[in-house]
Amino acid sequence: MSEDFDPVGFLERAVETPSHEDVSAMRDLLVAELEGEGLDVDIDEAGNTLASKEGPENGPHVVLNTHIDTVPPHIPPERDGNVLRGRGSCDAKGPLAVLLAAFFAVEPERGRLTLAVTPDEETDSTGAHHLALDADYYVVGEPTELDVCTAARGRFQGTVTLSGVAAHAAEPESGVSAIQGAAAALRAVETFDEAHGPGVHAALGAPTLTATTIEGGEATNQIPAECSFVIDRRSVPPETAEGFFAALREHLRAAVPDDVDVTVTPQERTTPFLEAFATPEDSDVVAALTDAGAGEVRPFGAATESSYFANDAPTVVFGPGYLADDEGAVAHAEREYVDLPEVREGAEIATAALRELLA
């Protein structure tokens, strides 16, 4: 690593800097670190922070990616021996510190090394969607306990709306109950994967489809004209968002009585849904990280911006920290923390892996 860069010191400053509502101060901190190492920094129109190093010979293009935004609320850092607590300590300022240390330490002998840090992974992912880097490998920083994660489920969300005809509850036969239509649709949700699902993925297992909220009706003495529920889809390859919603519409329409209208509306987004991805476990980037001392090769437990990169090149997720531990949630939780020896070890592993890829 660069003798002047301390990943733990940077991480403490990063966690001290709020980035749950506005990433400007955190981005300024990152830019200052990069410019302090004599690097040219570009902030693109989507708010991504970009810096690159070129080797003297042709070779692979390796991209290091993570994000600087966090979920609310801001939780200031608290050092407890070898543990740093606070918002972003593991998701994802700890991984950022690891990748930044490796980026500073490695001078490519061939190829190109790019740091691409996005501003809004926790919300709309407009930064990641804007990137077009034409890389050969991507390493995405997220809390993996220093394991190498080669796959992750995607996440789609939509609303199913059932429309009938309102009537007095004393004469239910004079109307068409949207709630009865919703009951049929909810039963059909449970059978969707048997009829239309992508099957069980070798690494990620089976997809899930769950109704999460429901609302309907306007009066306690009225047959409701409308009822809707939200569905949460955790997808596996090769399922796409477009294919899923088309199949769900067909499946629900067949299951719901003809006199009830059914619409399936995907969640409004300015960017594509985060789809599932899977990188072959024999990819060079996987071997480089495991050769350098990373842990097991396994799937990641949450959806990430990796799905925007995986169609371009082999993509892995790597970094210090836990999504959850034996006591419960860590990332996004009030008790968020990271083990500082893991941050230092992660920086050493990432540095060694990049040297192997770019030697």
One domain for residues 181 and 305: no
Residues 141 and 171 in one domain: no
Within this chain, do residues 85 and 35 fall inside the same structural domain, yes or no? Answer: yes
Flag whether 271 is in a domain.
Answer: no
| Residue range 89-140, pLDDT digits in tens | 999 999 999 999 999 999 999 999 999 999 999 999 999 999 999 999 999 9
- Number of structural domains the chain divides into: 2
Contact 234, 264 (CB under 8 A): no
Amino acid at 44: D
How confident is the model over 313-332, as pLDDT tens digits? 999 999 999 999 999 999 99
Q: pTM, whole model, 2 decimals?
A: 0.90
Helices (H), 114-177: 126-130
Q: What DSSP line would sit under 162-182, residue for residue?
A: EE-B-EETT-GGGSB-HHHHH
245-298 pLDDT, tens digit per residue, is 999 999 999 999 999 999 999 999 999 999 999 999 999 999 999 999 999 999
Residues spanned by the domain of 204: 154-266
**What sign results for the dihedral spanned by CA atoms 12, 151, 284, 132?**
negative
Q: Give the torsion through C-alpha atoms of 21, 336, 233, 299, to 10 deg.
A: 130
Residues 280 and 144 in one domain: yes
- Does residue 2 lie in a domain region? no
Output the domain CATH number for residue 49: 3.40.630.10
What pLDDT, on a 0 to 100 scale, did the predictor assign at position 4? 78
| Residues 98 and 178 placed together within one structural domain of the fold | no
